[in-house]
């Protein structure tokens, strides 16, 4: 069973390693280059014209890797896996439209805010509604109407509140990754770590699944997740695909993921958290995305209330650039922060499971 996890990761890695340079040539030939904000750090102006929409590479690689791993191993696809892939692709489509308009209109802003929000809401609502369907033989659906941390807890919030909660998570994570995607390789490298964590979580949940309670030494510590192993397959495919893309996206970047990639990655992270019943844990595992998002919230809030800025520039990574840190230094140090967030998050996950034994 673990073969499909390894296969999906390796195939995803291979496809982006060889596919991304082909995409770079295609985008460069069509003149699909990035437009840089005039109010950003001066050093970024040299990046003008770098091919964007690179998220196409790892979105396609992830989907192909998932289905190829199933074809090779003979295992069936699951509704949980398809829903997370569908959420990723749907959010990626919204981002693609945003990127395409930026290129065609030759401006740094793409879709109007209302149109972009409408697209994200449409995709998010479709995912949330479908995630409460398709019960298995244990009556487990891909998502639960209970809030979750390392497992479900508390009372049921009902389908309407669940849809609102799922939308909040999807919008928060997709925009969080989007804000983080400001330096070469920063969002890609951080995402690799979180997808690696979800690969481990999926494997652990499968080994301790309540579906196998009769074989467990402590059934009270089991996980009620519909398709944990398949979520690990999706997470592994994403990890491998992002790793391969990082080869071309690291400084100096030959291609940017664009909103196509950042919205897709954020959607995938939210989908994995919702379907693995680790919704609140995602705030720890994806701590860097939360930190950078909060820097923008603080900056905007402070300016509106007091007329003063807390940071030299938001998001946070640009503040340190303006303080004199090199781009590579900021990226590596932020990767270290993200790595610590993943270690703490996995520690909490394991400690929570062990505490119920």
Q: Which of 37-41, 55-59, 76-80, 302-306 has the lowest mean pLDDT?
A: 37-41
The C-alpha atoms of residue 80 and residue 226 are separated, in whole angstroms, by 7
Average pLDDT over residues 113-138: 94
Domain boundaries, the chain: 1-141+149-275
The pLDDT of residue 42 is 56
Most confident of 215-219, 249-253, 281-285: 281-285
pLDDT at residue number 354: 80
pLDDT higher than threshold 70 for residue 41? no
Distance (Å, rounded) from C-alpha 309 to C-alpha 311? 6
pLDDT at site 283: 97
Tell me if residue 33 falls in helix, strand or coil.
Answer: strand
**DSSP string computed for 192-238:** HHHHHHHHHHHHHHHHTBGGGGGGSS-GGG-B--S-HHHHHHHHHHH
Q: Is 295 helix (H, G, I), strand (E, B) or coil?
A: helix
> Pairing between strand 152-156 and 146-148?
antiparallel
Model pLDDT, residue 34: 63
What is the C-alpha to C-alpha distance for residues 280 and 179, in angstroms, rounded to an integer?
20
- Looking at residue 45, its pLDDT comes to 47
User: Which of the given ranges, 107-111, 206-210, 266-270, has the highest pLDDT on average?
Assistant: 266-270
Of 239, 277, 264, residue with least CA distance to 123: 264
Cβ atoms of 166 and 128 closer than 8 Å:
yes
299: which 2 tokens? Answer: 């900056």
pLDDT value, residue 219: 72
Contact 4, 70 (CB under 8 A): yes
Contact 250, 77 (CB under 8 A): no
**Taking the CA of residue 134 as centre, how many other CA atoms within 13 Å lie in the half-sphere pointing to its CB?**
16
Burial class (CB in 10 A: 0-12, 13-18, 19+), 195: buried
Burial of 42 (0-12, 13-18, 19+ CB in 10 A): exposed
pTM for this predicted structure: 0.94
Query: Is 259 marked as a binding-site residue?
Result: yes
Q: How many residues does the chain have?
A: 357
Supply the Cα-derived Rg of the chain in whole angstroms: 20
How many CB atoms lie under 10 A from the CB of residue 278? 27
Q: Provide the H-helix boundaries in the chain.
A: 2-30, 55-73, 79-105, 113-131, 158-180, 186-207, 228-249, 258-275, 282-285, 287-306, 316-322, 327-355
Q: Binding site annotation covers 98?
A: no
> Tokens 């919205």 correspond to what residue?
263
């Amino acid at each position: 069973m673990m073969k499909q996890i390894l296969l999906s990761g390796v195939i995803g890695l291979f496809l982006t390693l060889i596919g991304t340079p082909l995409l770079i040539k295609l985008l460069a030939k069509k003149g699909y280059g990035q437009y840089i904000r005039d109010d950003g750090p001066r050093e970024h102006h040299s990046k003008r014209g770098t091919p964007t929409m690179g998220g196409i590479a790892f979105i396609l690689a992830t989907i192909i890797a998932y289905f190829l791993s199933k074809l090779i191993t003979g295992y069936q696809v699951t509704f949980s896996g398809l829903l997370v892939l569908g959420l990723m692709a749907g959010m990626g489509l919204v981002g693609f439209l945003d990127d395409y308009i930026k290129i065609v209109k030759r401006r740094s802003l793409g879709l109007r805010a209302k149109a972009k929000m409408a697209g994200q809401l449409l995709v998010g609502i479709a995912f949330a509604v479908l995630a409460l369907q398709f019960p298995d033989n244990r009556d487990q659906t891909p998502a639960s109407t209970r809030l979750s941390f390392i497992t479900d807890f508390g009372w049921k919030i009902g389908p309407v509140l669940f849809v609102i909660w799922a939308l909040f998570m999807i919008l928060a994570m997709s925009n969080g990754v989007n804000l983080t995607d400001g330096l070469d390789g920063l969002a890609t490298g951080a995402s690799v770590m979180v997808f690696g964590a979800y690969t481990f979580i999926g494997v652990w949940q499968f080994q301790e699944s309540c579906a196998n309670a009769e074989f467990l030494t402590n059934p009270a510590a089991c996980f009620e997740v519909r398709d944990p192993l398949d979520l690990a397959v999706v997470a592994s495919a994403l990890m491998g695909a992002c790793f391969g893309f990082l080869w071309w996206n690291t400084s100096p970047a030959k291609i940017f993921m664009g909103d196509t990639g950042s919205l897709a990655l954020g959607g995938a992270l939210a989908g994995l958290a919702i379907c693995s019943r680790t919704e609140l844990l995602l705030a720890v595992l994806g701590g860097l995305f939360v930190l950078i998002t909060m820097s923008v919230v603080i900056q905007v809030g402070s300016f509106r209330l007091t007329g003063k800025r807390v940071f030299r520039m938001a998001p946070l990574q640009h503040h340190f650039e303006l303080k004199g840190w090199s781009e590579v230094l900021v990226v590596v140090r932020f990767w270290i922060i993200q790595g610590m967030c993943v270690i703490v998050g996995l520690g909490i996950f394991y400690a929570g499971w062990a505490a119920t034994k």
